[in-house]
Amino acid sequence: MIGMDWTKAEEAREYVDVEDALKRIRGNTKIFKTLLKSFLANDYMAPILNDLEAGDLDAAAKSVHTLKGVSANLSFMKLNALMLSMEKDLKAGTRCEDKAQELKPIMDKTKDYVNRLIECI
């Protein structure tokens, strides 16, 4: 059971669609909480930014692909949309620096909501 009614918190749902995520794991909040904690324990952003800075678009695309999968499975909506767009650009050979600048604020806000969500579970 989740303490806060996340389905009615519009901004929260833009970042973490709890209802959608729970459908994926058949409502198992214990597993969901474990997955959320695992997300927080990993630094998915640094490899992307480091690879882009080094000009290694192939490595950046692989790192983006990883975060795209994680964000899709956990229903991190804004983060997933950004990763989809960045992956498309990187595969086309575009550095997508403008989108890379969006990553930190979106990641920070997603992590903020994840931390608040963990407290509610």
pLDDT at 45 over 60: yes
d(CA 102, CA 107): 9
Q: CB neighbours of 74 closer than 8 A, spacing ≥ 6?
A: 16, 21, 35, 36, 39
CB-based contact 29:1 (threshold 8 Å)? yes
What mean pLDDT comes out for the span 18-43? Answer: 96
Provide the pLDDT confidence category of residue 1 given band limits of 50, 70 and 90.
very low
Is 81 exposed, middle or buried, given 0-12, 13-18 or 19+ CB atoms closer than 10 A? middle
For 89, the 3-state DSSP assignment is helix
CATH 1.10.580.10 fits 10-120, yes or no: no
What mean pLDDT comes out for the span 87-92? Answer: 97
What mean pLDDT comes out for the span 70-94? Answer: 97
